[in-house]
Structure 1
Amino acid sequence: MTEAWYPGIKAFCSHWDHAPMLRQTFATLEAEFFAENDACVDAAKAMVECCCRVLIEELDDPSAPLKPDGTDVKLAVLLGVATRLLDLGDIRDRAFSDLIRSYNKLGDSLRVLRNKSGTVSHGKDGFIQKLSLHQRRAAVLAADAIVTFLHEAYLEREPDPVRTMEPYERFAESSDLINRLCFVGSTETNEYGLQIDIRLPNGDDIPLAITPAEILFSIDRDAYKAALNACRDAEKEEVVEDTGDLDDEELV
């Protein structure tokens, strides 16, 4: 049994490698799958749930939310919301609609299989018959098919930069366009920072007021920490110098 059984899940987790719970669920899936434990069915279902929740968080519009309330939400509901947010249900084709329903049924079948064999989350009898290798593979393959379907649909969309949880590095093409056609000018302000003006191709300006701390915190957290430590040391030295001057005055 190799990772070739779940390439779609691996690709999704690689894309969203900054999502902590997703990384943990993926690590559990791999560990249980390679150990040939039935718990990999639990992990496979959890992986589909994580996939749906990541995409829902990324795509849901706060002004008209579709995100279901609570944590104990059926997998079919999560799949339904994810497919709606991906606009997959807008395609008016009977065959494609049937495909969407089939994926929902596949997700529900995964839930049923998990409920019957999920020794980890349901505390089943320790003497229950172990699933066959083929059954475990089928569960992982089903999860991989669903995750691949959703992930590929997501990759065809352009994330909204206002709401996205995607890191800056994922916007390389858009950022390159902005960098080529926009110009930056700056002037000092009285608020320990800069007034930055972004000149747009149409001649308009976007003014931004930014401080050294904001620049460091946004771009390089290690540099922010180094600057903070240096400033604290400098502040301590100023206090010592001020105290020394005061002592000299008192002596006089």
Structure 2
Amino acid sequence: MADSITAHFRFQMTGARAALAEGPIAEAIEQQITAIENTLESVPDFAFDLSKTLVESVCKTVLADIGQPADPNWDAPKLLRETTNRLSLLPRNHPDPQKARESVEKTIRGLLQTIQGLCELRNNYGLASHGRDTFTARLDLRQATLAAQAADTIVSFLYRIHRDALVQAPGVRVYYEDHTDFNDAFDRTYEVVKFGELELLPSRVLFHADREAYKTALNEFLEREGMNGGDDANANGALE
């Protein structure tokens, strides 16, 4: 009976999908999530490769967003460590930041150990890693699901924390959909841009025509509103 129920269960990366749904379209990452979900039961070996790749993709996206591109020589644990070191891990104005930061850092270290385990699984049992003896021992759906669940947890945490920070303090890459308050205020200040019967919102025109001018106006707005400023970002210290 249990095996029958398991056979009809289709794993979904709920956390990662929910995190991505809150931000701009990230097509490549969504494709990787879908690939993990689709291959987990049919080719479970491949989940190890895809899970590690998904975490790496999210880390590289986060670093690029904040203007700190990843070193191509970093392995996955190093990539995750560098990413978390640059994220604001605590809510703004937390009453006991030191104690809370210590607890979060312990969790981060656990995630680092998890990604190291993913790397070892990928290297030893991944389908597409380095090639392997056809008759070597294989892992099955249970272990592949563990890898996918670990990646789901890491991606959900990293991306949500990152997206929260971007809304408060835009990074190098700015996403129009993140700043509806500013866009609405800007559109109330300036007239709609008209091309014949076509009407365009001033904020959207500025965003697509001059991204740097949009960022400047956005940062000025956030400063006036008291939304842009120092918080716990980059204050976590290196995690070894």
Band of TM-score, shorter chain: 0.5 to 0.7
Structure 1 stretches of 5 or more lacking a match? Answer: 187-197, 199-214, 220-252
1:92 matched to 2:80? The reply is no
Q: 1:185 to 1:24 in 2, by over 3 A?
A: closer
Report the AA paired with residue 156 of structure 1: D
Structure 2 stretches of 5 or more lacking a match? Answer: 1-8, 92-96, 194-201, 210-240
| Equivalent residue runs for 1:41-60 within 5 Å | 41-60=48-67
Q: 1:155 to 1:162 in 2, by over 3 A?
A: closer
Normalised to the residue count of structure 2, the TM-score between the two structures is 0.65
Q: 1:32 to 1:13 in 2, by over 3 A?
A: farther
- Confirm or deny: 8 A CA contact 1:83 1:89 kept in the other structure: no
Secondary structure (helix, strand or coil) at the match of 1:135 reads: helix
1:163 matched to 2:184? The reply is no
Counterpart in the other structure of 2:117: 109
Secondary structure (helix, strand or coil) at the match of 2:138 reads: coil
Larger radius of gyration: 1
| Equivalent residue runs for 1:1-252 within 5 Å | 1-4=9-12, 6-15=13-22, 18-60=25-67, 65=68, 67-70=69-72, 72-88=73-89, 91-93=97-99, 94-159=102-167, 160-161=169-170, 163-166=172-175, 168-180=176-188, 182-184=189-191, 218=208
- Confirm or deny: 8 A CA contact 2:32 2:50 kept in the other structure: yes
Root-mean-square deviation (CA, aligned residues, Å) is: 3.2
Counterpart in the other structure of 2:234: none
Secondary structure (helix, strand or coil) at the match of 1:122 reads: coil
Secondary structure (helix, strand or coil) at the match of 2:166 reads: coil
Q: How many residues align structurally?
A: 184
The structural deviation recorded for 1:110 is 1.0
Q: 1:165 to 1:25 in 2, by over 3 A?
A: farther
Inter-partner Cα distance in structure 2 for 1:125 and 1:16:
42
Inter-partner Cα distance in structure 1 for 2:164 and 2:24:
19
Counterpart in the other structure of 1:222: none
Choose between structure 1 and 2 for higher RCO, CA contacts under 8 A separated by at least 6 residues.
2
Identify, as 1 or 2, the structure richer in strand. 1
- Confirm or deny: 8 A CA contact 1:89 1:97 kept in the other structure: no
Normalised to the residue count of structure 1, the TM-score between the two structures is 0.62
